[in-house]
Structure 1
Amino acid sequence: MSIKDNLLRIQENIENALIKSGRKDDVNLIAVTKTVNVDTINDAISLGVNNIGENKVQEIQKKYDNIYDKVNWHMIGHLQSNKVKYIIDNVDLIHSLDRISLAKEINKRAKAKEKIKDVLIQVNISEEKSKFGLKKEEVLPFIERVLEMENINIKGLMTMAPYAEDPEKIRYVFRDLRNLGYKIEDRNYKNIEMKYFSMGMTNDYEIAIEEGANMIRVGTALFGKRTY
């Protein structure tokens, strides 16, 4: 199937999931462009995709100047502190803030550029050893430390669920992240907004939306299977 057909199907699935959950807000589709060439990305943009997600800094560097239209760039993968300087000007939202050393580096680089950098805190709800992110109980103390950093804005939370043949088995991951968001909202922290819940990928984005996702990170369902 073509990217156009795939995009229409994803949009239909998003709408159905919103209806099922009784929601009337929007869901931001982030096209995960890992290994996708620039021409294909530009084709997707021409069809209305306006959010690009990359896992690696070097991929952003390689592709950034060759994307023709204005899109929002998302750093969705694990971010090494020594790579922050390469993307501080280019990325609209960092999804993977998960440690104080990284927060300090983002804050330093943003301050040097006179920017305020928007971030999401990555939470490892399932506590899989293979995944990055804070444990649930670590998030509130982490937030209180990041609050001291004037050039970072926390805009929400991100998580990755374990792969499951039956997405119903991982529904709890998305529900727990959203409930953590409610808990943070109740604290009324200054300069912290639970605006975005980045959760759900090709295999499970519909379940994630039903549980409150308003950012989904989809690659395979849009571009087809890729060889890594």
Structure 2
Amino acid sequence: MSIETRYRRLEEEIAKACMQAGRDPHEVALVAVSKTVGADEVSEAFAAGARNFGENRPDGLLEKAPLHAGATWHFIGNIQSRRIGDIVAHADLVHSLFEERHADKIDAAARAAGKVQDVLIEVNVSGEASKSGRAPDEAALLVEHCLGLANVRVRGLMTMAPQGDLAGARACFELLHTLRDELKAEHSSCEDDRFMHDLSMGMSEDWREGIAAGATIVRIGRAVFDDAFE
């Protein structure tokens, strides 16, 4: 099955899941996670209609982003201080912010680049030691910190659910949704309608649970690019 066929089939499945959840399919962005493939595969997905791509390494952004005008690039990997300049130069949305020191460096790099960097706060809702992210009860502190940075815009929250447990994933995503709503309510005076709008949750195995729980972004790689994934 070609990348084009897989991508378009996935779009149809996402639209169906949205309608089953009583949601508008246009509310959900499909990020094709291209971290394991090359520029040619990204071009195939782009030709099929993909416009959002996700990379977990700055080098992936540097290689692929300049080749695909009109695409939106999501940085979904761990942030390394020394590579923040490269990330800010090429990423439209950073999904994985959970430290104040990185927020400060993103702010400085964005100011130098003449842009406002959109970010999501990564929250470790599951509490698994193997996952990075802010503890849910500490997310508000980072949001407050970012609101004081002129070149950082908090677009919402991101999380990763426990693997192999769809019920656990659904519960995890619902908790993130609740946390997002609480944080948005705490800053109801914020005039930017993009503030706390997004919930990035759901990957190839659990994106349906993400959509049912209110995801606005799902991050899907293998179901787009991997022949072995069915």
Q: Do Structure 1 and Structure 2 share a fold, with TM-score over 0.5?
A: yes
Partner of 2:178: 179
Partner of 2:198: 196
Partner of 1:4: 4
Q: How far apart are 1:155 and its partner, in Å?
A: 0.5
Q: How far apart are 1:68 and its partner, in Å?
A: 3.5
Per-residue CA distance 1:122-175 (angstroms, 9 max, x = gap):
0000011111100100011221122211111001111111111x4123211110
Partner of 2:53: 52
Instruction: State the SS of the aligned residue for 2:209.
Output: helix
Gaps of 5+ in 2: none
1:93 aligns with 2:93: yes
Distance 2:159 2:170 in 1: 12
Contact 1:197–1:213 under 8 Å retained in 2: yes
Per-residue CA distance 1:46-96 (angstroms, 9 max, x = gap):
11000010011111112233x233200110111111111112221101111
Note the 1:1-228 alignment, pairs <5 A: 1-24=1-24, 25-65=26-66, 67-164=67-164, 166-187=165-186, 188=188, 190=190, 191=192, 193-224=195-226
Q: TM-score, normalised by structure 2?
A: 0.92
Instruction: State the SS of the aligned residue for 2:65.
Output: helix
Aligned residues: percent identity? 36
Distance 2:69 2:121 in 1: 28
Instruction: State the SS of the aligned residue for 1:193.
Output: coil
Contact 1:13–1:206 under 8 Å retained in 2: no
**AA at the equivalent of 1:143:** V
Instruction: State the SS of the aligned residue for 2:85.
Output: helix
Q: How far apart are 1:8 and its partner, in Å?
A: 2.4
Distance 1:82 1:137 in 2: 28
Contact 2:27–2:216 under 8 Å retained in 1: yes
CA RMSD of aligned residues (A): 1.5
Contact 1:45–1:69 under 8 Å retained in 2: no
Per-residue CA distance 1:182-227 (angstroms, 9 max, x = gap):
101211152571211111000000110000001000000001168x
**AA at the equivalent of 1:138:** E
Runs of 4+ in 1 over 2 A off after TM superposition: 62-65, 189-192
Distance 2:207 2:37 in 1: 20
Distance 1:15 1:220 in 2: 19
Inter-CA distance 103–189: structure 2 relative to 1 (3 Å threshold) = farther
Distance 2:104 2:227 in 1: 37
Pairs aligned (count)? 224
Instruction: State the SS of the aligned residue for 1:140.
Output: helix
Q: TM-score, normalised by structure 1?
A: 0.93
**AA at the equivalent of 2:84:** V
**AA at the equivalent of 2:44:** D
